[in-house]
Amino acid sequence: MNHVTKDICYIGVNDYDLDLFEGQYIVPLGMAYNSYVILDEKIAVMDTVDQHFGEEWLANLQEALEGRVPDYLIVQHMEPDHSANISLFMEKFPAARIVASAKAFTMMKNFYGIEYEDRRIVAAEGTELSLGAHALRFIAAPMVHWPEVLMTYDSTDKVFFSADAFGKFGALDREDPEGWACEARRYYFGIVGKYGAQAQAVLKKAAALDIQTICPLHGPVLKEDLPYYLNLYNIWTTYGVETEGVAVFYTSVYGNTEKAVKILEEKLKEKGCPKVAVSDLARDDLAECVEDAFRYGKVILATTTYNADIFPFMRTFIQTLSEHGWRGRKVGLMENGSWAPTAAKVMKGLLENCKDTVFTESQVKILSGVTEENIAQIDALAEEILK
């Protein structure tokens, strides 16, 4: 059995077959749906798992139970990757009760047609639940990632059950060559990014707790070096700059805009830029591009005029950033257009709702091929963005 502490066991599952998480995110390293059981005088199970893994999860639970019977199913989050096996659990253990927020019970009815009126305990911020030696306290975490979310603090083992927060893409037994932060960042900005203020509010509540272990609903249990993870979450939830450097995002139809981007990349490096992260929006993973836009404080957008607008991948990218609450960045624009270039103006308009965006005065205007004049403009843009 996989013990988190003496009394808390991991009973989650790994998914290697998922094509798109939440219908949109590629998961080359698979995905984990975490669930835990707290074994005390009373027994509490923390969330269920995705619909395809009910039997495997139940087998993990039975192994941990060693013949005992759970008293509570704590439903922290109603998204189906965690809630799909509620009815399986409730049928298997007819004496068990569900502990969840009022909103979660409404969602239960909406998703699964049942809200367990006679088998429920409605919890909210500050509600306490004693399992015997283990004292649980619930922490409301609206919009991290849905409005019904409760997180749970076990003050006995000093374990923080953080729901989707501190999660990441990737199955638990797949080595992540890039470490925890890369897929955790892509996950955070893709899934929670828009709700930085709400996530920050939860971090403030967590700061008042003595936490030795974080048990998220995805990704590994975090025990070592907690300040590292908390610091990253503090940066991400406040839209801070994590890495010094410039992120460059481009689209290119015939290679001319790409050529200009390569010249810019060289110039930025020559001028001492510590890191230049270049992404081709037509070919690179959108969620990876979004996380880079949040990671760096300085961003260059380069695209072509297209149908009197901008190239579709750039439009999607900027709209996605805007929808995710992207803000506080210094932005330089490069446009290409053979007869009526309008891309810079369109990009600026699309960024209107991104708070505290500062545009460079320097811009690059290419009229098809890259000219000597363009190279001078690129040089000026590189100089100004690095200031």
Binding footprint of ligand FEO on the chain (CB under 6 A): 77, 79, 81-82, 145, 164, 217-218
Q: Please, are residues 351 and 323 in contact by the beta-carbon 8 Å criterion?
A: no
Least distance in angstroms from the C-beta of 293 to ligand FEO: 22
The smaller minimum CB distance to ligand FEO, of residues 150 and 248, is found at 150
Look up tokens 């510590």; give the residue.
274
Rounded distance, CA 351 to CA 328, Å? 11
Nearer Cβ to ligand FEO (103/145): 145
In the complex, the smallest distance separating the C-beta of residue 172 from ligand FEO, rounded to whole angstroms, is 14
**Shortest Å distance, C-beta 81 to ligand FEO:** 5
Shorter beta-carbon distance to ligand FEO: residue 78 or 129: 78
- Report, in Å, the least distance between residue 77 CB and ligand FEO: 6
Q: How far is the CB of 360 from ligand FEO (least distance, A)?
A: 37
Closer residue to ligand FEO, CB minimum distance, 18 or 382: 18
In whole angstroms, how close is the CB of 291 to ligand FEO at the nearest point? 17
Angle between helices 312-323 and 343-350 (to 10 degrees): 20
For 229, phi then psi, to 5°, come to: -70, -40
Nearer of residues 7 and 81 to ligand FEO, judged by Cβ: 81
* Residues, the chain: 387
| Min CB(334)–ligand FEO separation in Å | 36
Smaller CB separation from ligand FEO, 7 or 79: 79
Q: Least separation, in Å, of the C-beta of 295 and ligand FEO? A: 22
By beta-carbon proximity to ligand FEO, the closer residue of 40 and 81 is: 81
- Kindly state the smallest distance separating residue 385's Cβ from ligand FEO, in Å: 36
Of residues 82 and 315, the one with the C-beta less far from ligand FEO: 82
Contact 43, 65 (CB under 8 A): yes
Token output for 224 = 């070592």
Q: Which two tokens stand for residue 45?
A: 């199970």
Q: How far is the CB of 56 from ligand FEO (least distance, A)?
A: 17
User: What does the alpha-carbon distance between residue 272 and residue 207 come to, in Å, rounded to a whole number?
Assistant: 37
The residues, ordered by sequence, that sit 6+ positions from 75 with a Cβ below 8 Å of its Cβ are: 47, 48, 82, 83, 86, 98, 99, 100, 104, 108
Task: Please list, residue by residue across 271-292, b when 16 or more beta carbons sit within 10 angstroms of its beta carbon and e when fewer do.
Answer: eebeebbbbebeeeebbbbbbb
DSSP 8-state symbol, 193: G
Nearest to ligand FEO of 93, 160 (CB atom): 160
Q: Quote the Cα angle for 264-294-288, to 5°.
A: 80
- For residue 246, the tally of other CB atoms under 10 A from its CB is 24
Long-range contacts of 92-98 (CB under 8 A, 24+ apart): 92/58, 93/69, 95/69, 95/71, 96/69, 96/70, 96/71, 96/72, 97/71, 97/72, 97/73, 97/121, 98/72, 98/73, 98/74
Q: Rounded to whole angstroms, how far apart are CA atoms 193 and 256?
A: 33
Q: CB count, 10 Å around CB of 57? A: 23
Residue nearest to ligand FEO (CB): 79
Q: What is the DSSP letter of 218?
A: S
- The nearer residue to ligand FEO, 164 or 176, going by C-beta atoms, is 164
